[in-house]
Structure 1
């Protein structure tokens, strides 16, 4: 049977040593193996609590503070556990220690002596440090992650405000990174992101901070940075990205970056405000020219427009909630007989003063503010309700580009069609020409689903975009509405006459009906009829009104504004 090694040998093999600490004299007695655990530390440095404390990092008082934190009952042992680093000399690496022990009080209730075990714990500390680093850094670029970057930005703004210094916050966005993804794959795009981070890092000053803000964007905190300094730094970063191609496994890739910046604290009093203004300025720089730089500046017109947007948003939402979004009916008549063929539903917003905002005042604003889908839902409900109560009427309605792919809109129309059998056959849905060319396959699916209800499809504002007649045939469009901008001047413009006549002739050959919008006078109406246009619409025939001519009982008119 093998002999049991002495306790000191076992402790040494585990990187541990025991101690007894007399707090009255400050003397420490160690187990015999202490020299093996603290190989580079002189015996004298281990002899007392005060001498040992001189080696401890980061806080020399950590052991003294751990002893005496709670008042014990007489003779009761009070446990404690602490972690600290020990460094023999300045150039030596830190040895990380985990100390577990108990202390006892003397007759006066104050700590008298302590005893315990110290254990070398370098691996655990390294693991904890790695976890801390991962919690603060982006794994791809090894720069600060967004959370820690924003926290650092908030601290910087607070410091700048307190000490009256000037800093800057930048957002650097890699231009057209999606093209790199599509052409080479995400791994190559990641290589580009990592390389751009290195190039920016190499051109930072001491004290500046860099972090990955999002997929293709980096955030920079530039301390003690004036407006002139920011301009110089921006050009330095832009040149670093654009001047040399990025080598990747798929070959060299050429990229540029754009930058938006804001001065702190002059134009940003909080991290949120700094980020928002830097993002806004970055988008402005990108829209102007890829690879450019812009600095945020106050803009009276922009701020006024935003106040208007906030007010109009509230007005539209309130009008929807209060059922003040209504529709007017604009007649579309046969060009030869002038008999009504159908009525176009145009949105109106009744105001509290009894006046009404018309579609040109509502739709562009609603589209810009992301409210158009709500408006389109309401117009659909009103149009279907009107068709359900007026069996002999045919109506058309416009929908915005986003609505064509809105699953909620589809759920609504399918539900309404099932609830009101047959109304689909009297509904015409108008989509703009720009929608028709965005994704022909998606739009064809949209058209097919509507035609399954018996509805017809019209292309609105035809001629303003670039839809080919081949696409019209693919889509199975029933009606083309010729953009009024070309129709309104056909009496006086030979170019417009030639254009409109050509559209009508081509549509007739494809067996697609035509509607001429914005017909102003009788002379234009006669021309259109002679060219073979099927329907006309506009001031000559009558503009949108809440009246329902088919009912014989006109609605009370609401005066229009705008």
Structure 2
């Protein structure tokens, strides 16, 4: 098929082109560089917000409309295009007659004269305000909570890291508080989720008013705020906590059609102390103290106090983290692959990638032995980045296989990880379609709005999302609608010995009904008998996974004729899959 050419004999062909340009809202320009004159095609007066007589008709006049901060980069783009034949393609802000600013995308190509000097530049200008606003919003969401406007948990952790470093260097103490709104679910149930949002906004604004200007407030969970208090003693921390408790007690928050009164519980600690700490340590310990405050009756402040046993466990955890760091550096993390099969044909449709660690002595360590510690002490983002690279390498080498990879809660809020994924999948849509990310139900429900945004970003790249451990938490119809998963994996605790447990059978039917209402594919985990497999297939489960169909294997089971060279022992009955079991 040949491309259609312009109608050479049509007398109105130029008008047709002009009409098309005007309809697009773009401008086409012809810039005579020698005479410094610009001719425009399109609605230039509307574009620049001026009358016809004030439309820029020279390069000098056009430059006067460009934001001063953007002039150097435009000049650089022009110079590189004229001298080095680099593409002329840049974005900058125009200042309109009304005083407003708008973003434009400018691209074109130079026409050389007989002597080889630049003679004309022909190009297009396009308004890109909507895209820039969308990019700005995504950038803001990467650092700020969309509801309250405060730092999100990722940005707050970065602030803690910086404060921790400065506190060590200056030999001063700082403090961190976690503030949990008591019984927020009751407000949601009585007045709706919008009322709960109003409570959170009001408390966040109140924190801004009563704390020091040097203090930092962030939202770290659905009902929790974190407060960083730089250069703060234990006495000052206690005073700040009591001031917050009293201020919230006195609040009367308007929620249609009434006003509500709430309280908060607070956990906190002073840092640094003699042992090495990370931002993850600080947040984890403050949340431990918060849980104790709630157990003690709520509406109170509890200081974190580590027992001798907790200190021993922490030292053991640090040893595990050090080993994982070495394993990443020495490429000793690997996958064990477990098949997910069609419930009717029992043919493999995909494989879950279960992370394993090869110790220095050659022993194979299951994820349950190190992933929980890695998540708690803040190394999980580094590990998930490594896991992503391993999965991408497998997909690139084996172009027909579909793989599922587990993600942690911290990674779901990490823009660095997402940028790495975007780069790996660039110009590889077929690879994205073969990549499934699994997020546990507990992680997904920690911050539904943030999880929903993260899921949509992955789906925009072409990936699929699976809700892992479905049924272990409190996923509702509302959550499923908001989160937009493709697949749900029924938690294995309801699948083991299913044929002998009528209560679990009823529960599984209810879960299947909820999934079916949203058109979700379903996977049953931990299928260990043919009887359970047959029962699940009859109930309408789409896919099955478990030892009955194959144990995790270091060998790639999709390769024809391959035999497993290493299989892993089953976890003890009832053991919970941690991150990637």
For Structure 1 versus Structure 2, the TM-score category normalised by the shorter chain is 0.5 to 0.7
Q: Distance in 1 between matches of 2:570 and 2:530?
A: 27
Task: Check if 1:320 corresponds to 2:335.
Answer: no
Aligned to 1:447: 455
Task: Check if 1:219 corresponds to 2:223.
Answer: no
Q: Does structure 2 retain, via aligned residues, the 8 Å contact 1:174–1:216? A: no
Q: Does structure 2 retain, via aligned residues, the 8 Å contact 1:286–1:292? A: no
Q: Distance in 2 between matches of 1:534 and 1:244?
A: 50
Task: Check if 1:511 corresponds to 2:530.
Answer: no
Q: Distance in 1 between matches of 2:462 and 2:521?
A: 17
Task: Check if 1:492 corresponds to 2:507.
Answer: no
Aligned to 1:539: 547
Aligned alpha-carbon RMSD (Å) = 4.7
Aligned to 2:409: 401
Aligned to 1:384: 392
Q: Flag structure 1 segments of 5+ consecutive residues without an equivalent.
A: 1-145, 156-168, 195-211, 222-233, 263-269
Residues 337-366 of structure 1, C-alpha deviation per residue, up to 9 Å, x if partnerless?
A: 111111000100001121111122222111
Displacement of 1:296 after TM fit?
Answer: 7.6
The counterpart of 1:553, out of the listed 551, 555, 562, is: 562
Displacement of 1:468 after TM fit?
Answer: 2.1
The counterpart of 1:182, out of the listed 201, 215, 225, is: 201
Q: Does structure 2 retain, via aligned residues, the 8 Å contact 1:174–1:256? A: no
Q: Does structure 2 retain, via aligned residues, the 8 Å contact 1:177–1:189? A: no
Residues 468-501 of structure 1, C-alpha deviation per residue, up to 9 Å, x if partnerless?
A: 2343344432211111111113222111000102
Residues 507-532 of structure 1, C-alpha deviation per residue, up to 9 Å, x if partnerless?
A: 23432211000112111111101111
| SS of structure 2 residue aligned to 1:370 | coil
Q: Does structure 1 retain, via aligned residues, the 8 Å contact 2:181–2:264? A: no
Aligned to 2:141: none
Aligned to 1:459: 467
Q: Distance in 2 between matches of 1:244 and 1:383?
A: 48
Displacement of 1:447 after TM fit?
Answer: 2.6
Matches within 5 A, 1:275-314: 285-289=289-293, 290=298, 299-314=307-322
Displacement of 1:280 after TM fit?
Answer: 9.3
Displacement of 1:435 after TM fit?
Answer: 3.5
Task: Check if 1:482 corresponds to 2:501.
Answer: no
| TM-score, normalisation: structure 1 | 0.54
Displacement of 1:434 after TM fit?
Answer: 2.7
Q: Distance in 2 between matches of 1:523 and 1:387?
A: 34
Given the superposition, is the C-alpha separation of residues 252 and 154 from structure 1 closer, same or farther in structure 2, using an over 3 Å criterion? farther
Residues 54-102 of structure 1, C-alpha deviation per residue, up to 9 Å, x if partnerless?
A: xxxxxxxxxxxxxxxxxxxxxxxxxxxxxxxxxxxxxxxxxxxxxxxxx
Displacement of 1:453 after TM fit?
Answer: 3.1
Q: Does structure 2 retain, via aligned residues, the 8 Å contact 1:380–1:413? A: yes
Matches within 5 A, 1:23-172: none
Q: Distance in 2 between matches of 1:345 and 1:282?
A: 33
Q: Distance in 2 between matches of 1:247 and 1:453?
A: 45
Aligned to 1:352: 360
Q: Distance in 1 between matches of 2:355 and 2:447?
A: 27
Residues 195-214 of structure 1, C-alpha deviation per residue, up to 9 Å, x if partnerless?
A: xxxxxxxxxxxxxxxxx992
Q: Distance in 2 between matches of 1:271 and 1:446?
A: 33
Given the superposition, is the C-alpha separation of residues 181 and 542 from structure 1 closer, same or farther in structure 2, using an over 3 Å criterion? closer
Q: Does structure 2 retain, via aligned residues, the 8 Å contact 1:332–1:343? A: yes
Task: Check if 1:331 corresponds to 2:339.
Answer: yes
Displacement of 1:299 after TM fit?
Answer: 2.8
Aligned to 1:141: none
Displacement of 1:399 after TM fit?
Answer: 0.7
Q: Does structure 2 retain, via aligned residues, the 8 Å contact 1:173–1:217? A: no
Q: Does structure 2 retain, via aligned residues, the 8 Å contact 1:388–1:420? A: no
Given the superposition, is the C-alpha separation of residues 343 and 177 from structure 1 closer, same or farther in structure 2, using an over 3 Å criterion? closer
Displacement of 1:407 after TM fit?
Answer: 1.2
- Range with bigger deviation, 510-519 or 442-451: 442-451
Q: Does structure 2 retain, via aligned residues, the 8 Å contact 1:172–1:219? A: no
Displacement of 1:323 after TM fit?
Answer: 0.4
Residues 523-549 of structure 1, C-alpha deviation per residue, up to 9 Å, x if partnerless?
A: 111110111111111121122111112
Q: Distance in 2 between matches of 1:376 and 1:243?
A: 41
Given the superposition, is the C-alpha separation of residues 498 and 252 from structure 1 closer, same or farther in structure 2, using an over 3 Å criterion? closer
Given the superposition, is the C-alpha separation of residues 494 and 546 from structure 1 closer, same or farther in structure 2, using an over 3 Å criterion? same
Q: Distance in 2 between matches of 1:181 and 1:420?
A: 42
Bigger-Rg structure (1/2): 1
